[in-house]
Structure 1
Amino acid sequence: MLAEVLGCFAGRFGRVEPRRAAAGFVTGLLSDLEVKTCWQLAERAGHARPDAMQRLLYRAVWDADAVRDDLRQLITDRFGGPDGVLVVDETGDLKKGIRTVGVQRQYTGTAGRIENSQVGVFLGYAGADGHTLIDRRVYLPASWTDDRDRCQAAGVPDEIGFATRSELAAEMITAALGAGVPAEWAAADEVYGNSAAFRAHLRGHQLGYVLAVSRSHLVPIDGGKTRVRADRIAADLPASAWQRRSAGAGSKGPRFYDWAWLDDVCTDADPDDGGRHSLLIRRNTTTGELAFYRCWTPRPATLAQLVRVAGIRWTVEEAFQAAKSQVGLDQHQVRRWDSWHRFTTLALAALAVLAICAADATHNDPTDTGLIKLTVNEVRRLINACIIWPISDLAHRLHWSGWRRRHQSPSPTSPLRTPPQP
């Protein structure tokens, strides 16, 4: 599978050197290295210097978006199906300084507060056989797009202007559908569900959705004549309105919640879209905590279908966790626009290896082994145990120890001063 993933985009490199560097880069991301920067990946690949890995992210000639397209096609060929779900979410990386592309003090769910951080918006795909991430966008706040000199210093193309996170999500969904990704549904959290423009964009694609909204979200009822807070609607529901259903399998078995479905309400600004608007409410069976979803389908749907899509939204959280803990998605030390997209794309390639291997193993394994399903974490352990052998050559290890200590020397006469970050 590693060879298949690397092979799907090998033709995007015009020279053998960057193609080999990309293969070593993805393999290094799958390794058991604790830190996965260009230095560590170069040492792991047997290089004497990090130049090839840094050049791959900075100066080498290749199109990260084209590689992304190849990966997206491979993933949808493996996981694609008529009930596919496109899942949008964002994740933040805490940063120091002000020169890394997109960084500013902003809220990030990674820290749960406002921090100096960089935010990326990602698109996941979930099919019947598996799920993983298929696209990415770095979010540029207005403080960046209003400062063209700052953008130019970070390599941001001149045509890139300000776009909200929901607009970036809409761009990725449009690109995926235009590329033939089979999907009938979209799911996202409150950041996107609260956006009327984002909901309208999905309806324009005739894409059914189950989008989380805030408890204070104003729900239009009575044909849009009245707007009522979502939590107020929930408070007025009788006990008979709730049904207990599973939102899918979790690590400890089915995830049961109580659900209330108010069909044919929540009409948006376009009442003649031909679809069915509704409000879905989820209640935790233990804590009583409520969650709310704006739903729309181009054709009549069932409660079971909406509950399934609501449950699938959590696959993007699982993908983020795997991407960060297993393939170093958040360990890049790059500052420029192209370098961020290149590193992130190669991380998605490494994640695809794990996701497809785990899905294939689940599909092929017998059901009576008494073992849990093969996880992406265990797949990476097996890859390291069976395929990726660490370099134990003493001279190579000592060479890199010397390289690191010279390169980190504060002396201005050091022959290996730290170059600009890619």
Structure 2
Amino acid sequence: MSDVVLRMRNAEREAGDGRREAGDPAADADGPGRAPARSDAHDVLLTELCSVLFASLPRADQRRKGVEYLRGLLGAEGRKSIRNIARLIGGQATEQNLHHFISSSTWDWDPVRAALAQYVTAVAPPRAWVVRQTVIPKAGEHSVGVDRRFISSLGQVLNAQQAIGVWSASDEVSMPVNWRLHLSQAWLDDVPRRSQASIPASVNTRSLGDCAVAAVLELTSAWGLPARPVVADVRETDGMKVVRRLRTGGVPFMVRVNSTLPLVPVDGGPAGPGAEAVPAHRIIGAHQGRCRPVAWTDHGTGGGRRTDLVAAVRVADPAGSARLPGAGGRPRGAGGELLLLGAGAPGRRWPQELWLATAPDLPPATLFRLSRLTGRVERDFEGIADRTGIRDYTGRSFNGWHRHVTLASAAHAVAALANTGDRPLRRAC
């Protein structure tokens, strides 16, 4: 168990004991010292996290404002706007100072975000890095990156920002650690808007898939975080391009793909082993007889234990497949074989989901359970991230948006770790 979690729980117990001795009836509301000690747990976590988080900030006043902003994200009522945060902290002068601190100050958010990711990884080691797309509806047109977009997951056109978050995820807890804001070509070609938002010259057009890969690779290549499987839904982008870039970067992955994604069967399929590329759903359909029940824990809002039918078959990337001499015509994928998984609930049309994974030697059940961490992230996004202001930045500044989501991610980490209760968290060695 990590030192910070031990201190947090000691603070909870001491706070509860003190309240009971003083005759506070609320002290036993949810068990000894639990409900009223939430702020004490936050304070313990804030003290340790802020000492790490703001070490790169050169000035004491910047570090102080960083702590104030975090406290505001955790404590302000309603929308976590700078105005509401300032109202909690100290009024109009504070509002002006915090607005400057977030939107136009010179402090670099990148080392702060790296420090957050390293802290989170040490306190609650992840099983996977989960990539999640975040849609941020906007009423106006001046917020950085806002566009009229068709959001396929919602089936509608929205005026919104679109961001990619990478989350540290385990069965117990998930926390966002890195972000990319998607900027359209229209935004980057509009010189006045680009200048007004202070978008750096180095920022160029990237697809959502490119944003996801860049954010993932930064974790290990720039920040030195441990390699963990990447779990992502790539159906809304060029899925095979994402797969190839992750493989080139040496990153293991488990990605949800479209049923029409062309792949080359290795174990045989509709046209036998070594066939030309065929849609993924036809390959897995030919192996439906391999389905086995896999029990898993629903970490999402549904909760409880569930069972799905899972089948797996080895495949290769059509761009890198070649006939192996003397190997019966079996194809060899560039960088090795992949594993195609089909999954679905019993009694329903099968498969409902298709996933493509590296590490074909791992049991399909293990890989499938890894994919279910997306439910953990969805639950924590709705229950924590949205309440700590992850979508609440209203300014026009590109750097301001990144500073805000970095500190909102830190607030999420404080709230998430404080909410772990008695669940064990172990500090990585």
User: In the alignment, which residue of structure 2 is the partner of 1:400?
Assistant: none
Structure 1 portions without partners, runs of 5+? 365-422
Q: Which amino acid aligns with 1:280?
A: L
Cα RMSD (Å) of the superposition?
A: 2.3
Q: Which amino acid aligns with 1:248?
A: T
Quick check: 1:95 aligned with 2:138? yes
Quick check: 1:131 aligned with 2:174? yes
Quick check: 1:54 aligned with 2:54? no
Residue correspondence of structure 1 range 273-422 to structure 2 within 5 A: 273-285=334-346, 287-288=348-349, 290-297=352-359, 300-359=361-420, 361-363=422-424
Farther-moved stretch of structure 1 (300-309 vs 70-79): 300-309
Q: Which amino acid aligns with 2:178?
A: D
Shift of 1:192: 6.6
Shift of 1:193: 7.4
Q: Which amino acid aligns with 2:310?
A: W
- Flag the 1:16–1:116 CA change in 2: closer, same or farther, 3 A: same
How far apart in 2 are the matches of 1:108 and 1:347? Answer: 24
How far apart in 2 are the matches of 1:358 and 1:39? Answer: 27
Shift of 1:324: 4.1
Q: Which runs of 4+ in 1 moved over 6 A?
A: none
TM-score (ref. length: structure 1): 0.78
- Flag the 1:227–1:274 CA change in 2: closer, same or farther, 3 A: closer
User: In the alignment, which residue of structure 2 is the partner of 1:269?
Assistant: 319
Q: Which amino acid aligns with 2:195?
A: Q
Percent identity reads 23
Residue by residue, what CA displacement relative to the aligned partner does 1:179-231 show, whole Å, maximum 9, x if unpaired? 22223311101337742221112212332221101122223225764232233
Aligned length: 359
- Flag the 1:152–1:54 CA change in 2: closer, same or farther, 3 A: same
How far apart in 2 are the matches of 1:14 and 1:291? Answer: 49
- Partners of 2:254 and 2:357 within 8 A in 1: yes
Shift of 1:133: 0.8
**SS in structure 2 of the partner of residue 313 of structure 1:** helix
**SS in structure 1 of the partner of residue 105 of structure 2:** coil
User: In the alignment, which residue of structure 1 is the partner of 2:303?
Assistant: 252
How far apart in 2 are the matches of 1:350 and 1:110? Answer: 27
- Partners of 1:85 and 1:309 within 8 A in 2: yes
Residue by residue, what CA displacement relative to the aligned partner does 1:209-263 show, whole Å, maximum 9, x if unpaired? 211011222232257642322333444444x32111124343431232111111x
Shift of 1:153: 1.7
**SS in structure 1 of the partner of residue 355 of structure 2:** strand
Shift of 1:77: 0.8
How far apart in 1 are the matches of 2:409 and 2:274? Answer: 42
80, 83, 88: which one aligns with 1:44: 88
Quick check: 1:107 aligned with 2:157? no
- Partners of 1:5 and 1:352 within 8 A in 2: no
- Flag the 1:95–1:13 CA change in 2: closer, same or farther, 3 A: same
Q: Which amino acid aligns with 2:158?
A: E
How far apart in 1 are the matches of 2:78 and 2:347? Answer: 38
Quick check: 1:188 aligned with 2:249? no
How far apart in 2 are the matches of 1:313 and 1:194? Answer: 20
**SS in structure 2 of the partner of residue 226 of structure 1:** coil
- Partners of 2:384 and 2:416 within 8 A in 1: no
Residue by residue, what CA displacement relative to the aligned partner does 1:273-314 show, whole Å, maximum 9, x if unpaired? 4533121001123543611011222x6221122112211233
**SS in structure 1 of the partner of residue 394 of structure 2:** coil
**SS in structure 2 of the partner of residue 244 of structure 1:** strand
Q: Which amino acid aligns with 2:419?
A: A
Shift of 1:321: 1.7
**SS in structure 2 of the partner of residue 98 of structure 1:** coil
Quick check: 1:116 aligned with 2:166? no
- Flag the 1:286–1:41 CA change in 2: closer, same or farther, 3 A: farther
Quick check: 1:68 aligned with 2:130? no
How far apart in 2 are the matches of 1:141 and 1:319? Answer: 28
Shift of 1:137: 0.9
Residue by residue, what CA displacement relative to the aligned partner does 1:85-139 show, whole Å, maximum 9, x if unpaired? 1111211111123221111111236754211110111111124653211100110
- Partners of 1:278 and 1:296 within 8 A in 2: yes
How far apart in 1 are the matches of 2:237 and 2:186? Answer: 25
Residue correspondence of structure 1 range 77-226 to structure 2 within 5 A: 77-80=122-125, 84-108=127-151, 111-127=154-170, 130-178=173-221, 179-191=223-235, 194-221=238-265, 225-226=275-276
How far apart in 2 are the matches of 1:224 and 1:139? Answer: 39
58, 62, 72: which one aligns with 1:18: 62
- Partners of 2:316 and 2:333 within 8 A in 1: no
**SS in structure 2 of the partner of residue 11 of structure 1:** coil
User: In the alignment, which residue of structure 1 is the partner of 2:21?
Assistant: none
Q: Which amino acid aligns with 1:261?
A: A
241, 251, 258: which one aligns with 2:290: 241
**SS in structure 1 of the partner of residue 315 of structure 2:** coil
- Flag the 1:301–1:154 CA change in 2: closer, same or farther, 3 A: same
Q: Which amino acid aligns with 2:406?
A: T
- Flag the 1:194–1:266 CA change in 2: closer, same or farther, 3 A: farther
How far apart in 1 are the matches of 2:246 and 2:376? Answer: 20
Shift of 1:267: 3.3
- Partners of 2:385 and 2:408 within 8 A in 1: no
Structure 2 portions without partners, runs of 5+? 1-44, 267-272, 321-331
- Partners of 1:80 and 1:181 within 8 A in 2: no
How far apart in 1 are the matches of 2:422 and 2:151? Answer: 35
Residue by residue, what CA displacement relative to the aligned partner does 1:341-375 show, whole Å, maximum 9, x if unpaired? 011111001001122223463118xxxxxxxxxxx
How far apart in 1 are the matches of 2:80 and 2:215? Answer: 27
